[in-house]
A and B are shown apart, each in its own frame.
Chain A
Amino acid sequence: MNARLAAGAAIVGGVCALALLALLWTPHDPLALNVAGRFAPPSPAHWLGTDQLGRDVLSLIMRGAAGPVGVSLAAVCIGLAVGGTLGVLAAGRGGIGAHAALRASDFLFAFPALLVAILLRETLGPGVLNAMVAIGIFNVPVFTRVAYGASLPVWRSGYVAAARVAGRGGAWIGVMHVLPNIANTLIVQATIQLSLGVLAEASLSYIGLGVQPPQPSWGRMLYEAQTLLAIAPLLAIAPGLAIVVTVLGFNLLGEGLRQALDPRRATPPEPDAETAP
């Protein structure tokens, strides 16, 4: 257990626990308005104060965690299911079909998640589903590439040849031999995509294409706080810090997992004595 893995796991675990807890309990009702008590400074009753409508900021932030975490998780599942399958199959089959599949997924690189969300807004409606699909589409080519690159050597290995000789079909080999061997790489990549997904969800919510009001979301809280920046800077600082901490947590978790699961990709030790500590 390295330090990054521990720190990342602690942060991610904490954020997920808060998001789950917020579904059952928050200090105050995050949707309850109290105009008389608006812009209250932090106090024992409202740890992070209240916003322009008198809602408790801490409760809003707790409830708002579900959006980024849920959306980025769903988007990673879309990416893994479509891209991962495509990559493993393309590496196993080879030939024209594999080439076409890789090209088709590369093609998705030309569509940033934001533009997909804009294009799909009218069809899917602005909301959580739109954000999931848009970020999921962005994840597909990433997982296709990673799964293809990681599974290619596995498909060419001796034990896969042995399994073929033993009469096993391509699908069986893919699931039983290839997938377990590339799982570590996929898990590390998934963690990185989760952190990117949290950032993307925040951006989409900020411009009104993510979680819809009255449900709270970090991006939307920042949007609402923007015009109040001079009066109530804390309203802009608290949700932003929540995003930074969550993204940092996923990044640390990803790097920690990479060190723990994939020692080959860890950098070699410094051989030069000049900079040795």
Chain B
Amino acid sequence: MIRAVALGLVSLVVTLIVASVLVFAAMQVLPGDPAQVMLGVNAQPDTLAALRAELGLDQPAVARYLAWISGFLAGDLGMSHTYGVPVAELVGERLAVSLPLAVLALALSAAVGLPLGMWAAARRGGFVDRAVLFFTQLGIAVPNFWLAMLLVLVFAVTWRWLPPGGFPGWEAGAGAGVRALVLPAVALAVPQGAILAQVMRQSLIDTLHQDFVRTARAKGLTRGEALRRHALRNAIIPVLSVMGLQFPFLLAGTIIVENVFFLPGLGRLILQAVNQRDLIVVQGVVMLLVASVAAVNFAVNIAYALVDPRLRRPA
């Protein structure tokens, strides 16, 4: 177990180091000089040189990488030149929208997808099963940003139940904030929930054929009892791992869906920064997102080893 954690930790650290080098390198090969972008094309050469020195752009790439990464580890992501505030501050503000949105979407998808998957597996081949299979197929095929637009069309434009976009800020009260996040969360949750339902169904069906379930039935448990007490615990393992694998999709979905609803989250920040060539913001946010994916993968591997003793042995 300790060996598995240590190996996972080493690979996490290596992943983060290589990822940071790649992200930094991708930003370096870009045409265009941030100092030039900040001052405009008519800047005097000496002002340009002064700003380059101030930003540290006259340093060699290795020195700039080390300065960036040590700042990153200390929580200093640099200054955004379009917003004129520290990137860390920007990220903090935006996280207050993106994180609740992602959590709400994940909770919704699990709350709907997992029971649906269990129900379908328990009634395999019946009407419920076929309905769940049909709707999950559809749910997986729907692009989340299109679903978002349809939800706006129905619930905001036609029925006017919920706001079509924008975010009032948490100062306006938790109710108003959550109301603004409901439609985006549903748009994100539908494809995720559909995948979870399919995986849960398949995993439970596979488990129900195992010998220990047959034994449980043979010793007199009803079908429902055997399912609840023996099959479910084993069936949940693949579901956990799929939830981990789906995390990057949830992240990418959040970036897109925030743009449909004009939510001031990380996704909107990163796309605006890309368009405004605010590279220090792009660099910082991409690195943070990549780090979060790596961290989730690590956590899932550990959780896996905790649940399943067979995985603790080295491969």
For the complex, what is the distance from the CA of A83 to the CA of B290, rounded to whole Å?
A: 21
Best-buried of B14, B141, B290 by chain A (most CB within 10 Å): B141
For the complex, what is the distance from the CA of A111 to the CA of B16, rounded to whole Å?
A: 11
Q: A120 — nearest CB in chain B belongs to which residue? A: B26
Q: With A244-B142, A251-B141 known to touch, is A112 a contact of B15 (CB < 8 Å)? A: no
B260 at the interface (CB under 8 A from A): yes
Contact in complex: A275, B274 (CB < 8 Å): no
Identify which of A39-47, A59-67, A70-78, A202-210 touches chain B. Answer: A202-210
Contact bitstring A250-277, B, C-beta under 8 A = 1, else 0:
0110000000000000011011101111
* Residue numbers in B under 8 Å from A226 (CB-CB): 149, 260
Chain A nearest CB, measured from B74 CB (Å): 22
For the complex, what is the distance from the CA of A163 to the CA of B115, rounded to whole Å?
A: 50
Contact in complex: A230, B157 (CB < 8 Å): yes
Please pick, from A195, A207, A240, A270, the residue contacting B259 in the complex, using a CB distance under 8 A. A207
Q: How many residues does chain A have at the interface if contact means C-beta atoms less than 8 Å apart?
A: 48
For the complex, what is the distance from the CA of A111 to the CA of B248, rounded to whole Å?
A: 8
Chain B nearest CB, measured from A182 CB (Å): 20
Contact in complex: B153, A236 (CB < 8 Å): yes
B19 at the interface (CB under 8 A from A): yes
For the complex, what is the distance from the CA of A252 to the CA of B251, rounded to whole Å?
A: 26
Contact in complex: B149, A240 (CB < 8 Å): yes
Contact bitstring B120-145, A, C-beta under 8 A = 1, else 0:
00011110000000000110111101
* Secondary structure type dominating chain A contacts: helix
B192 at the interface (CB under 8 A from A): no
For the complex, what is the distance from the CA of A197 to the CA of B80, rounded to whole Å?
A: 33
Q: B12 — nearest CB in chain A belongs to which residue? A: A110
Contact bitstring A117-159, B, C-beta under 8 A = 1, else 0:
0111111000000000000000000000000000000000000
Contact in complex: A229, B223 (CB < 8 Å): no
* Residue numbers in B under 8 Å from A118 (CB-CB): 270-271, 274, 282, 286
* Residue numbers in B under 8 Å from A109 (CB-CB): 245, 248, 293, 297
Chain A nearest CB, measured from B297 CB (Å): 7
B99 at the interface (CB under 8 A from A): no
Contact in complex: B256, A222 (CB < 8 Å): no
A233 at the interface (CB under 8 A from B): yes
A28 at the interface (CB under 8 A from B): no
Contact bitstring B247-280, A, C-beta under 8 A = 1, else 0:
0110110011001100000000011001000000
A115 at the interface (CB under 8 A from B): yes
Contact in complex: A203, B152 (CB < 8 Å): no
Contact in complex: B141, A248 (CB < 8 Å): yes
For the complex, what is the distance from the CA of A236 to the CA of B152, rounded to whole Å?
A: 11
Best-buried of A239, A244, A277 by chain B (most CB within 10 Å): A244
Within 8 A of B (CB), among A175-230: 195, 199, 202-203, 206-207, 222, 225-226, 229-230
B146 at the interface (CB under 8 A from A): yes
Q: With A115-B286, A122-B30 known to touch, is A110 a contact of B146 (CB < 8 Å)? A: no
Q: With A110-B15, A268-B209, A275-B123 known to touch, is A247 a contact of B141 (CB < 8 Å)? A: yes
Contact in complex: A222, B145 (CB < 8 Å): yes
B interface residues with partner A (beta carbon < 8 Å): 11, 14-15, 18-19, 23, 26-27, 29-32, 123-126, 137-138, 140-143, 145-146, 149-150, 152-153, 157, 202, 205-206, 208-209, 223, 245, 248-249, 251-252, 255-256, 259-260, 270-271, 274, 282, 286, 289-290, 293-294, 297
A115-B289, A233-B153 known; 12 other A-B pairs, CB under 8 Å? A110-B294, A112-B252, A115-B252, A115-B286, A119-B27, A122-B31, A206-B143, A207-B271, A229-B152, A251-B137, A251-B140, A267-B206
Interface pairs A-B: 5 shortest CB-CB: A240-B146, A247-B141, A112-B248, A114-B252, A122-B30
A–B pairs, 6, beta carbons within 8 Å: A111-B293, A118-B286, A123-B26, A202-B145, A229-B152, A236-B150
